[in-house]
Chain A
Amino acid sequence: MAFFSSWWQWFAGFFFSKSAEITIVGLQASGKTSLVNVIGNGQWSEDVVPTVAFHFRKVHRGNVTMKIWDLAGQPRYRSIWDRYCNGVDAVVFVVDAHDKEKFDTAKFELHQLLAQPSLKDVPLLVLGNKNDLEGHATVNELIKALDLDKIQNRPVSCYSCSMKSQHNLDIILQWLAGHSH
C-alpha cells in the first residue's frame, strides 16, 4: 500500500506537478544557505562558506519543483538582490532572530528591496531563524522590529524557525508549496 501510494505520487507528479521560483535574501550569516541545504537534502552543517554573489539550486519536494536563488548577504552584494527577485513567486527574507543589533539594518534593507517596482505584489515570507538559541526574538518582536505591519499590498507571513533543529520547517515548506503554481 505504501509502495502504491508513493508510486501514485510519482505518477501524479507528471500531471499535477507544480513549480515555484523563490529568491532567498537576508543579511550575511542569517542562515540563507543553510535553509537551502536543509530544504534540498535535509542536512545542516555548522560551517557554511559565505556565498559569493548567488547560488542557484533546483529542489524537488513532493510534486513541487522549486527553483531557488540563494543570494549573498554581504553589503557589496545587496544592490543586486532586486535583479533576482524579478518575476519570482515568492521572496524569503531570513533574519537572525538572535542578533538583535542587526534588526535595524535588516529592516532598512528589507524595505529598500520591497520598494523596488519589480517586486510589486510578490508574496513575502520573513523567517526569524536560529530560535534554538537562548534570547531569540519572538515572532511578535520581529514584526515590530522590522515594521512588517506597515507592508501593504502583498501577502506577508512571519515564522520563527531553526534550521539546526529543523523546527517549523514543515510549515515553511507548506507555505512555499502554497505559493507555487
Chain B
Amino acid sequence: MSLASKKDEESGLSTYYNNKTTVIQEARVFNDSPISPRKCRALLTRIVYLLYVGETFTTQEATTLFFGTTKLFQHKDSALRQMVYLAIKELATTAEDVIMVTSSIMKDMQPNSEVIYRPNAIRALCRIIDPSMAQGVERFFKAAIVDKNTSISSAALVSAYHLFPAAKDVVKRWVNEAQEAVNAKGSGSFFGSNTGGNSYLGWGSSSSSTTSGYQAIPSTSYITQYHALGLLYLIRQQDRMAVTKMIQQLGGGKTGSGTVLKSPLALCMLIRYAAKVMEEDPNVQRQMLDLIEGWLRHKSDMVNLEAARVICELKNVSPAQLQKPIAVLQLFLSSPKSSLRFAATRTLANLALLHPTAVATCNLELEQLISDANRSVATYAITTLLKTGNEASVDRLIKQITGFMSEISDEFRVIIVDAIRSLCLKFPAKHASMLSFLSGVLRDEGGYDFKRAVVEAMFDMIKFIGDCKEQALSHLCEFIEDCEFTKLSVRILHLLGVEGPKSPQPTKYIRYIYNRVVLENATVRAAAVSSLAKFGLNSLDDKLSKSIKVLLNRCLDDVDDEVRDRAAMYLKVYQEPPLADIYVKEESVFSLSALESKLVSYLSDPEAVAESFDVSSIPKISRAQAAKEASRPSTLETLGAPSTSKAATPPPPTAAETQSAYASQLAEVPEFETYGTVLNSSTKPAQLTESETEYQVSVVKHIFREHVVFQFNVSNTIPDTVLEQVSVVMQPQGETGLTEDFLVPIPQLSSANSPGIMYYSFTRDTPEEYPIGSFSCVLKFVSKEVDPSTGEPEAEGYEDEYSLEDTELSAADYIMPTYVTFASEWDRLRGGVNVTETFSLPAMDSLKAACDSIIEILNMQPLGGSEDPQSPTVHTLQLSGLVAGGGGKVLVRSRMTYAKGQGVALELAIRAEKQESANLVVAAIM
C-alpha cells in the first residue's frame, strides 16, 4: 500500500467511523420495518469499532443504542445476531437496564437451539445478569461446559470465569464439569482419524457451518483445556493442597508425557501455577521442579520457554538447576523465529542480573545477536552481554552499541542506559569510555524518559566515581545549553550548585549557568539564580564572589517575580553573612510528612488561623536522611534484584507517617475533639504482654496540650470466645501529676475484629510541666464463649482479669528527635537554660551500650555519628530533640568515660530553651 492511499484511509475511513454523532443518528435503522440485516450489521460494527478504539458513550446514549439493538432480536439472520451479541457485550457496561434482554438471550442459549450464535449468547449473558440470577442459569452452564462443541464449552467456561467474582458459591459447584472439560479427550479423539488435516479443514468447516447452521467444529488448539484450567484454578486457588494435587494430576508424572493437556497454552498456565505453588510452599519445590524440568523437553516451544523462564525466575536457584533451562534458551538464541530469540534474550537479560556467570555460557550466541535485524533482540543481547562481560570487553561493546543507538526506540535505549549505569559502578576504571558514550547519546534526539535516564546515570557517576566528576559536569553543562526539558535543566542546575563550588575551577561553570538566566524560561531562570548564589556564597574566592553579586544584581530586573525574589534574597544574604549558614549551607530539611500532617491539622482547625503556623515544632532531618526517604529506584536496585514484575513490598512507614496515621485515628473519637491537635505520639507501640499469650496488648501514648491519652491495642487470639466491655484499668504508682478523666472501652472483641482500640485519658494538672511516672495495668473484660453451631455468643459470660506489664510515661514520650547543626546551636543556646549533672552507671559494660540506652530513654537524635564511640574509654555523645507542646529545642552533650569494673561515668550537659524541658531530661536519666 502506498503512503498516499494509507493517508486517505486514515482521514477518510476513520473519521467516518470515528464519528459518534452520526452513529447515534443512524441508529434509527434499528427501528426500521422491515429490518435490513446488512445495514444494521454495518452500523453495529461501527459502534463496536468506536468502543474498541476508546470512544466513550454516555449512559443515556449507550442505553438508547442498547435498546435499539435489542429490537434486532426479531430478526433471525445469524450473522446479524452474532453482531448484536458483540454490541450488547460492549454496551452492557455503560447502558442501564441491560437485564431486559435476559429472556431473549436465554432463548438463544437453549441446548436444543442448534444455532451458530449459541456461544455468543452465552458470552453475552455473563455480562448482563446480576449475581442473584446466576443460580437460575446454573443448569444451562453445567450443560454448556461439557458440550461437545468446543466453542460452546469455551464460551461457558470463560463466562463462568467472569461470573466467579460475583457469584462464587454458584460457580464453585461447576468444578466437576470444568474438570471434565479439562480431561475431555475433546474433539481430538472424537475426530481422531483426521487430526492430520485439521489445520486445513478447520477453516473450511467453520465457514461452511455459517450456512448449514450448526456443526461441531473440530478444534486443533484444545483451547477449551486452557479455559477450563483457568476456571479450575480460580475455584481452587485458596486451597493450596488442591492446587498442588491438580498440578500433579494434570502434569502427568515425571516425564510429563502422561498429561492429558494438549493445549500448549494450558501447559504454560499450569507451569505458572506450579511456580506460584513452589514460591509459597518450599516443601513441594522438589516435585514441582521435576515436573517443570520435564516440560523443558516438551515438543512445543512455548512450553519449553515458559518452563525455562520459571526456573530462571526461581528465588535462590542453584547454578546446577540453571544448567538445563539455559541450554534450552541457548538453543532458542539461534532459532530462525525472532519471537523465540526475543523471548530467550529477554529471559537471559533478567537472569544476568543475578547469575551473570551462568548466563556467560551463552555469550557466543549473544555476540552474534548484536547484529540481529530485530533491534529489540539486539538490545537485550547487548544488555545481557554488558552484565556478563568482563572489563576487557566493555570498550568493544560500547563501540557496538553506539553504532545502533539511533536505530532503536526510546524504551530500549533506556534499558541500555540503565545497563551502562550499573556497569560504570561495577567497573569504575572504565568510566572514561562510558562517560563519552553517555555524553554522545545525550546529544542524540530523544524523549524525556531517555534523557532522564542518561542524566541520572551521569548523576550516579558524579556521586560514586570521583575521578570523572569534572568531566561529567562539563558534559552536563553542555547539555543544558540546548535542553528542551525544564525538569532536567533544573536538576542539573541544582547539582551544579552543589558540586560546582567544590571543584578546582568553579569559574568555568558560571558562564553556562548565567546563560540560562538570559535564555531560558522562568523556572529554569529561578533555578539558575539559586545555583549562582551557591557559587557566590560558598566560594572562598573574593573576586568570584563579587562578580556573582553583579550578576545577581542584574537578575533583579527579571520579569518573573520568583526570579527577582530569589535574587533579592541572596543579595540580602551577601550583606549579612551569618544568614548564609541558614539559607545556603543548611544541612537539614523539614521532615516532609510531619510538615504535611501539621499543616493539614493547622488548616482544619478554624481557631488556629488566628495565630501564625509554628514551624519550630516540626522535626528536622538531615539531607542524607531526606535523600534516603525520597530515594528513587536507583543504582543499587538495578544492580541488585532482577526487575521482574513481582510487587515490591512497600517500605515500612517512617515515624512521621505513623504519627499522621495516629492523628487521623484519634480524630475519629468524638471525646477528644476538644483536646486540640496531637503534639506527639510514641513512635512504636510498647508491648505489655508476651507475644504468644491469649490476649495481646500494646500501648501508644499521645500527648495533647492539656491531656495525655493512652491508646491500648488489644488483640483477642482465641477464636471461639468473644470479649465484651474490654478495658484496661490503670493505677498510677505514686504522684504523677495526672488526673484520670475517662476511658473508652471496646464494646466487643472477637478474634476476627482484633486488634480493637481502647483509650484511657488523663488531664495534665499543670500543662507547663511534663509529668512522668509509671502505671500498673490490668485488662478487664467479660468473656463469652461462642456457640460453634450458630456463631452467636452465649448470653451469660463471666468477668475476668488479666494483668499486664507496667506502662511508663517517660521523657521519650514528650521528645521528638530533630536534626540541627550541633556546634552552632549549642553556642546559640549558651544564654538559655543550662543544667549539668553527673551520673555513674555501674551496670553499663561499654560506652556503646550507654549511648544506645541514653538515646532510647531520651528519644533524641544523635548527631555527627556520635552514637558510635570510637574510643573504648572516652566519648562525647551529642543529642538534639524537640519537646512537644512548645517546650522548644533541647540539646544534650554527654561526656562519658568507661573504666572496667566501675562502669560508665557520665557528665550530662543540657541546654534548652525552657527550664521545664531541661528538668524533663534530667528526670528521665535519674
Taking Cβ atoms with an 8 Å cutoff, the residues of A that contact B are 19, 21, 51-56, 58, 67, 77, 79-80, 83-84, 86-87
**Assembled-state Cα–Cα distance A84/B104 (Å):** 15
A88 to chain B, nearest CB (A): 9
Closest to B71 in A: A84
11 inter-chain pairs at a CB distance below 8 angstroms, sorted by A residue, are A52-B102, A52-B103, A53-B103, A54-B103, A55-B103, A56-B74, A58-B74, A67-B74, A79-B97, A80-B67, A83-B67
Closest to B98 in A: A53
B747 to chain A, nearest CB (A): 40
B74 contacts A54, CB within 8 Å? no
B379-404 with Cβ < 8 A to chain A: none
Closest to A21 in B: B33
Closest to B35 in A: A67
B103 contacts A51, CB within 8 Å? yes
B1-33 with Cβ < 8 A to chain A: 31, 33
Closest to A19 in B: B33
Closest to B68 in A: A83
A residues in contact with B31, CB < 8 Å:
86-87
Q: Tell me whether B641 is interfacial, beta carbon within 8 Å.
A: no
Q: Tell me whether B353 is interfacial, beta carbon within 8 Å.
A: no
A49 to chain B, nearest CB (A): 10
A residues in contact with B103, CB < 8 Å:
51-55
Given known contacts A54-B70, A56-B73, what 14 new A-B pairs fall within 8 Å (CB)?
A19-B34, A21-B33, A53-B99, A53-B100, A54-B103, A54-B104, A56-B74, A67-B74, A77-B100, A80-B67, A83-B67, A86-B31, A87-B31, A87-B33
The one of A21, A80, A87 that contacts B100, using a Cβ cutoff of 8 Å: A80
B21 to chain A, nearest CB (A): 19
Q: Tell me whether B101 is interfacial, beta carbon within 8 Å.
A: yes
Tell me how many residue pairs across A and B have CB atoms closer than 8 Å.
Answer: 34
**Assembled-state Cα–Cα distance A21/B34 (Å):** 10
Closest to A58 in B: B74
> Given A80-B97, A87-B31, A87-B33, are A53 and B71 also a contact pair (CB < 8 Å)?
no
The one of B33, B102, B104 that contacts A67, using a Cβ cutoff of 8 Å: B33
B237 to chain A, nearest CB (A): 34
**Assembled-state Cα–Cα distance A56/B33 (Å):** 14
Instruction: Output the residue of B73, B74, B100, B102 with the most chain A CB within 10 A.
Output: B100
A89 to chain B, nearest CB (A): 9
B residues in contact with A53, CB < 8 Å:
99-104
Interface bits B63-75 vs A (CB < 8 Å: 1, else 0): 0000100110110
B448 to chain A, nearest CB (A): 50
Interface bits B321-350 vs A (CB < 8 Å: 1, else 0): 000000000000000000000000000000
B50-83 with Cβ < 8 A to chain A: 67, 70-71, 73-74
**Top 9 A-B residue pairs of the complex, sorted by shortest distance between their CB atoms:** A53-B100, A83-B67, A52-B103, A87-B31, A56-B74, A53-B103, A21-B33, A86-B31, A52-B102
> Given A80-B97, A87-B33, are A56 and B67 also a contact pair (CB < 8 Å)?
no
**Assembled-state Cα–Cα distance A54/B72 (Å):** 13
Closest to B64 in A: A83
B residues in contact with A19, CB < 8 Å:
33-34
Closest to B102 in A: A52
A residues in contact with B73, CB < 8 Å:
56
A111 to chain B, nearest CB (A): 22
A residues in contact with B34, CB < 8 Å:
19
B91-107 with Cβ < 8 A to chain A: 97, 99-104
A75 to chain B, nearest CB (A): 13
**Assembled-state Cα–Cα distance A51/B106 (Å):** 13
B residues in contact with A55, CB < 8 Å:
103
B108 to chain A, nearest CB (A): 12
A residues in contact with B101, CB < 8 Å:
53
A residues in contact with B100, CB < 8 Å:
53-54, 77, 80
Closest to B99 in A: A53
**Assembled-state Cα–Cα distance A51/B100 (Å):** 10
A residues in contact with B71, CB < 8 Å:
84
**Assembled-state Cα–Cα distance A56/B31 (Å):** 14
Closest to A49 in B: B103
B residues in contact with A52, CB < 8 Å:
102-103
A residues in contact with B99, CB < 8 Å:
53
**Assembled-state Cα–Cα distance A69/B101 (Å):** 13
A residues in contact with B102, CB < 8 Å:
52-53
**Assembled-state Cα–Cα distance A58/B76 (Å):** 12
B835-862 with Cβ < 8 A to chain A: none
**Assembled-state Cα–Cα distance A124/B71 (Å):** 21
**Assembled-state Cα–Cα distance A52/B71 (Å):** 15
B residues in contact with A87, CB < 8 Å:
31, 33
Closest to A86 in B: B31
Closest to B74 in A: A56
**Assembled-state Cα–Cα distance A84/B102 (Å):** 16
B77 to chain A, nearest CB (A): 14
A residues in contact with B70, CB < 8 Å:
54
**Assembled-state Cα–Cα distance A55/B100 (Å):** 10
Closest to B63 in A: A83
B24 to chain A, nearest CB (A): 14
**Assembled-state Cα–Cα distance A52/B34 (Å):** 25
**Assembled-state Cα–Cα distance A6/B33 (Å):** 28
B104 contacts A56, CB within 8 Å? yes
Closest to B34 in A: A19
Closest to A181 in B: B33
Closest to A20 in B: B33
B55 to chain A, nearest CB (A): 23
B residues in contact with A86, CB < 8 Å:
31
B residues in contact with A84, CB < 8 Å:
67, 71
**Assembled-state Cα–Cα distance A84/B100 (Å):** 12
B687-741 with Cβ < 8 A to chain A: none
**Assembled-state Cα–Cα distance A67/B103 (Å):** 18
Closest to A77 in B: B100
Closest to B67 in A: A83
**Assembled-state Cα–Cα distance A16/B97 (Å):** 40
Closest to B73 in A: A56
B residues in contact with A56, CB < 8 Å:
73-74, 104
Closest to B100 in A: A53
Closest to B66 in A: A83
B630 to chain A, nearest CB (A): 54
B residues in contact with A51, CB < 8 Å:
103
**Assembled-state Cα–Cα distance A84/B99 (Å):** 15
A residues in contact with B104, CB < 8 Å:
53-54, 56
A residues in contact with B97, CB < 8 Å:
79-80
**Assembled-state Cα–Cα distance A21/B74 (Å):** 11
A146 to chain B, nearest CB (A): 26
B residues in contact with A77, CB < 8 Å:
100
A74 to chain B, nearest CB (A): 12
A73 to chain B, nearest CB (A): 13
**Assembled-state Cα–Cα distance A83/B65 (Å):** 11
Interface bits B738-764 vs A (CB < 8 Å: 1, else 0): 000000000000000000000000000
**Assembled-state Cα–Cα distance A83/B63 (Å):** 10
A residues in contact with B74, CB < 8 Å:
56, 58, 67
A86 to chain B, nearest CB (A): 6
**Assembled-state Cα–Cα distance A43/B259 (Å):** 57
Closest to A65 in B: B34
**Assembled-state Cα–Cα distance A21/B104 (Å):** 18
Interface bits B554-590 vs A (CB < 8 Å: 1, else 0): 0000000000000000000000000000000000000
B158-196 with Cβ < 8 A to chain A: none
**Assembled-state Cα–Cα distance A86/B64 (Å):** 12
B residues in contact with A54, CB < 8 Å:
70, 100, 103-104
**Assembled-state Cα–Cα distance A55/B33 (Å):** 18
B residues in contact with A21, CB < 8 Å:
33
**Assembled-state Cα–Cα distance A59/B101 (Å):** 21
**Assembled-state Cα–Cα distance A90/B103 (Å):** 24
Closest to A57 in B: B74
Instruction: Output the residue of A53, A80, A86 with the most chain B CB within 10 A.
Output: A53
Closest to A56 in B: B74
**Assembled-state Cα–Cα distance A86/B101 (Å):** 17
B70 to chain A, nearest CB (A): 8
**Assembled-state Cα–Cα distance A19/B74 (Å):** 14
